[in-house]
Amino acid sequence: MFENWKIPLLMTTFAGLATLLGGFITFLVKKNNLKVLSLGLGFSAGVMIFVSLTEILTTAENLLKTYYPIKYHWMLFAGFIAGVLISKLIDEFIPDHVEEKDFAEECAPNDIDCQRQHKIKRAGILTAVAIAIHNFPEGLGTFLVSSQDMAVGASVAFAIALHNIPEGIAVALPIYHATGKKRMAIWYSFWTGITEPIGAIIGLILLQFFLPQVFVGLSMAAVVGIMIYISFDTLLPLSHEYGDWHYAIGGVMSGMIVIWASLLLLNGY
């Protein structure tokens, strides 16, 4: 079915690893600048909320509508609820305790600053998990489109690469701020990006031999639930804690504007 798989796979890899560029941009900001951190966390939430409710949800709806033209609304809803429940499980599997070896300095027993650093790091990990999960079906979609139409696939891959840059910032900024370790921040941004080509390969195999194609639509609906939950439960409260609501909302609006503009430019509007 996919004789010309090499170039589509390269396109998908390029799009995914654009998160690394976002990770490197993070180092242009002073680590202890709490106002920038507040804006950055709000920016992360804005990117995730906008991408979830427009791009990902619309794609999921179109996929499910093809197979279930009458009941696709309920399937979207069920996928969203599943994503919220998955988010709760993610919270349980990332224990809320301080791992001293991951911080730039050892935490003393009542060290409030160290506890805050831990909250920031945890927010970065949760964001990384959400974006990594999101990139699996995204990578699959890029690969499939590129395999059918290389020109359209190139524009899709470029659009995804462009919005992966702020996603890389969303992951690397809190990790770098909490740990002071550039390598760790880059590693997390790399990990979230590399899941895109991995997701394309694994997803393609599963869809061809094991699972119906409607699985992609359901997984995207679940991703919307995950990303919305993390944005409101983790990113926005932390953004307010390290700045104020003006910084938090300013970050949210900036994230939405940047991601919207990038998609408009790439789609030729």
How many residues make up the chain in this entry? 269
pLDDT over 50 (residue 171): yes
pLDDT over 90 (residue 57): no
- The band of 78, judged by pLDDT with boundaries at 50, 70 and 90, is very high
CB burial of 155-193 (b: ≥16 within 10 Å; e: otherwise) equals ebbbbbbbbbbbbbbbbbbbbbbbbbebebbbbbbbbbb
Hey, how many other C-beta atoms are within 10 angstroms of the C-beta on 267? 10
> Which of 2-16, 175-189, 204-218 shows the highest mean pLDDT?
175-189
Percentage above 70 pLDDT, the chain: 71
**pLDDT, position 31:** 59
- The band of 98, judged by pLDDT with boundaries at 50, 70 and 90, is very low
- The band of 46, judged by pLDDT with boundaries at 50, 70 and 90, is confident
> What letter would DSSP give residue 181?
-
Mean pLDDT of 206-216: 65
- The band of 34, judged by pLDDT with boundaries at 50, 70 and 90, is low
Mean pLDDT of 197-223: 72
- The band of 32, judged by pLDDT with boundaries at 50, 70 and 90, is low
Specify the higher pLDDT residue, 64 or 105.
64
Q: Is residue 88 part of a domain?
A: yes
Q: Is residue 84 part of a domain?
A: yes
Q: Which two tokens stand for residue 34?
A: 């709490």
**pLDDT, position 159:** 64
Q: Is residue 149 part of a domain?
A: yes
Q: Is residue 65 part of a domain?
A: yes
pLDDT over 90 (residue 253): yes
The C-alpha atoms of residue 234 and residue 141 are separated, in whole angstroms, by: 28
Q: Which two tokens stand for residue 101?
A: 């070896």
Domain count, the chain: 1
Q: Is residue 1 part of a domain?
A: no
**pLDDT, position 221:** 84
Q: Which two tokens stand for residue 163?
A: 């919005």
> Which of 105-109, 131-135, 154-158, 220-224 shows the highest mean pLDDT?
220-224
Q: Is residue 72 part of a domain?
A: yes
Domain containing residue 154: 6-266
pLDDT over 80 (residue 192): yes
Q: Is residue 171 part of a domain?
A: yes
Average pLDDT value for the chain: 75
Percentage above 90 pLDDT, the chain: 4
Q: Which two tokens stand for residue 98?
A: 């301080």
